[in-house]
Amino acid sequence: RKEVEQDPGPFNVPEGATVAFNCTYSNSASQSFFWYRQDCRKEPKLLMSVYSSGNEDGRFTAQLNRASQYISLLIRDSKLSDSATYLCVRISGTYKYIFGTGTRLKVLA
Protein backbone atom coordinates (compact mmCIF):
# COMPACT_ATOMS: atom_id res chain seq x y z
CA ARG A 1 0.00 0.00 0.00
CA LYS A 2 1.32 3.45 -0.93
CA GLU A 3 2.12 5.78 1.95
CA VAL A 4 -0.44 8.31 0.82
CA GLU A 5 -2.91 7.34 -1.86
CA GLN A 6 -5.32 9.52 -3.82
CA ASP A 7 -7.60 9.05 -6.78
CA PRO A 8 -5.88 11.11 -9.50
CA GLY A 9 -9.18 12.09 -11.14
CA PRO A 10 -9.93 14.28 -12.94
CA PHE A 11 -13.16 15.11 -11.20
CA ASN A 12 -15.21 17.23 -13.60
CA VAL A 13 -18.03 19.01 -11.79
CA PRO A 14 -20.36 21.88 -12.70
CA GLU A 15 -20.16 25.19 -10.90
CA GLY A 16 -22.08 25.13 -7.65
CA ALA A 17 -21.68 21.39 -7.15
CA THR A 18 -20.39 19.72 -4.02
CA VAL A 19 -17.38 17.46 -4.49
CA ALA A 20 -15.49 15.25 -2.08
CA PHE A 21 -12.03 13.70 -2.25
CA ASN A 22 -10.60 10.98 -0.09
CA CYS A 23 -7.03 10.15 0.72
CA THR A 24 -5.83 6.98 2.43
CA TYR A 25 -2.61 6.58 4.35
CA SER A 26 -0.67 3.55 5.46
CA ASN A 27 1.06 4.65 8.66
CA SER A 28 -1.34 4.46 11.58
CA ALA A 29 1.05 6.44 13.77
CA SER A 30 0.70 9.54 11.59
CA GLN A 31 -0.45 12.52 13.60
CA SER A 32 -0.66 15.49 11.29
CA PHE A 33 -2.30 15.89 7.93
CA PHE A 34 -2.90 18.72 5.50
CA TRP A 35 -4.61 19.51 2.27
CA TYR A 36 -2.61 21.61 -0.15
CA ARG A 37 -3.72 23.02 -3.45
CA GLN A 38 -1.46 23.09 -6.49
CA ASP A 39 -2.16 24.98 -9.68
CA CYS A 40 -0.49 23.86 -12.87
CA ARG A 41 3.31 24.26 -12.63
CA LYS A 42 3.01 26.26 -9.41
CA GLU A 43 3.99 25.59 -5.82
CA PRO A 44 1.76 23.77 -3.35
CA LYS A 45 -0.25 26.20 -1.23
CA LEU A 46 -1.66 25.30 2.14
CA LEU A 47 -5.42 24.91 2.01
CA MET A 48 -6.11 23.60 5.48
CA SER A 49 -4.92 21.43 8.32
CA VAL A 50 -6.87 18.29 9.16
CA TYR A 51 -7.85 17.52 12.72
CA SER A 52 -9.60 14.51 14.26
CA SER A 53 -12.47 16.78 15.24
CA GLY A 54 -12.84 18.02 11.67
CA ASN A 55 -11.96 21.40 10.30
CA GLU A 56 -14.13 23.82 8.34
CA ASP A 57 -13.05 26.93 6.50
CA GLY A 58 -15.79 28.57 4.49
CA ARG A 59 -16.78 26.20 1.69
CA PHE A 60 -14.11 23.67 2.61
CA THR A 61 -14.40 20.91 5.21
CA ALA A 62 -11.68 18.42 6.10
CA GLN A 63 -12.16 15.28 8.15
CA LEU A 64 -9.81 12.67 9.56
CA ASN A 65 -10.89 9.08 10.18
CA ARG A 66 -8.11 7.38 12.11
CA ALA A 67 -9.88 4.03 12.40
CA SER A 68 -10.10 3.70 8.62
CA GLN A 69 -6.92 5.68 7.95
CA TYR A 70 -8.32 8.20 5.56
CA ILE A 71 -8.81 11.91 5.33
CA SER A 72 -11.37 13.72 3.24
CA LEU A 73 -11.90 17.13 1.71
CA LEU A 74 -15.36 18.43 0.90
CA ILE A 75 -15.82 21.48 -1.30
CA ARG A 76 -19.27 23.02 -1.38
CA ASP A 77 -20.62 25.42 -4.00
CA SER A 78 -17.67 24.84 -6.34
CA LYS A 79 -16.24 27.87 -8.14
CA LEU A 80 -14.33 27.95 -11.41
CA SER A 81 -11.34 29.14 -9.38
CA ASP A 82 -11.37 25.90 -7.39
CA SER A 83 -10.01 24.09 -10.45
CA ALA A 84 -6.63 22.76 -9.33
CA THR A 85 -4.90 19.65 -8.05
CA TYR A 86 -5.54 18.89 -4.38
CA LEU A 87 -2.66 17.29 -2.55
CA CYS A 88 -3.04 15.16 0.54
CA VAL A 89 -0.06 15.40 2.89
CA ARG A 90 0.94 13.56 6.02
CA ILE A 91 3.87 14.35 8.23
CA SER A 92 6.54 11.76 8.84
CA GLY A 93 9.43 12.04 11.26
CA THR A 94 10.73 15.53 11.90
CA TYR A 95 8.31 17.58 9.82
CA LYS A 96 9.00 15.66 6.61
CA TYR A 97 6.03 15.88 4.26
CA ILE A 98 4.78 12.80 2.42
CA PHE A 99 2.62 13.87 -0.51
CA GLY A 100 -0.04 11.98 -2.36
CA THR A 101 -0.11 12.12 -6.14
CA GLY A 102 -2.94 14.63 -5.99
CA THR A 103 -6.52 14.69 -7.21
CA ARG A 104 -7.27 16.92 -10.15
CA LEU A 105 -10.48 18.95 -10.02
CA LYS A 106 -12.04 20.75 -12.97
CA VAL A 107 -15.01 22.97 -12.27
CA LEU A 108 -16.98 23.58 -15.43
CA ALA A 109 -19.06 26.64 -16.26
Partner 1 sequence: EPEVTQTPSHQVTQMGQEVILRCVPISNHLYFYWYRQILGQKVEFLVSFYNNEISEKSEIFDDQFSVERPDGSNFTLKIRSTKLEDSAMYFCASSEPGQTEQFFGPGTRLTVL
Q: Applying CB under 8 A, which residues contact partner 1?
A: 32, 34, 38, 41-46, 49, 87, 91, 93-102
| Residue 3 per-residue DSSP state | S
Cα–Cα distance for residue pair 78/100, rounded to 1 Å: 22
Residue (18 or 31) nearer to partner 1, CB: 31
Q: What are phi and psi of 82, to 5 degrees?
A: -80, -10
Q: Tell me the closest approach of the beta carbon of residue 16 to partner 1, in angstroms.
A: 30
Q: Tell me the closest approach of the beta carbon of residue 54 to partner 1, in angstroms.
A: 18
Strand blocks (E) in 1-109:
4-6, 11-14, 19-25, 33-38, 44-50, 55-57, 60-65, 70-75, 84-92, 96-99, 103-108
Residue (32 or 69) nearer to partner 1, CB: 32
Q: What angle do CA 40, 44, 45 make, to 5 degrees?
A: 115
Residue (16 or 54) nearer to partner 1, CB: 54
Q: Tell me the closest approach of the beta carbon of residue 88 to partner 1, in angstroms.
A: 10
Residue (8 or 54) nearer to partner 1, CB: 8
Q: Tell me the closest approach of the beta carbon of residue 70 to partner 1, in angstroms.
A: 18
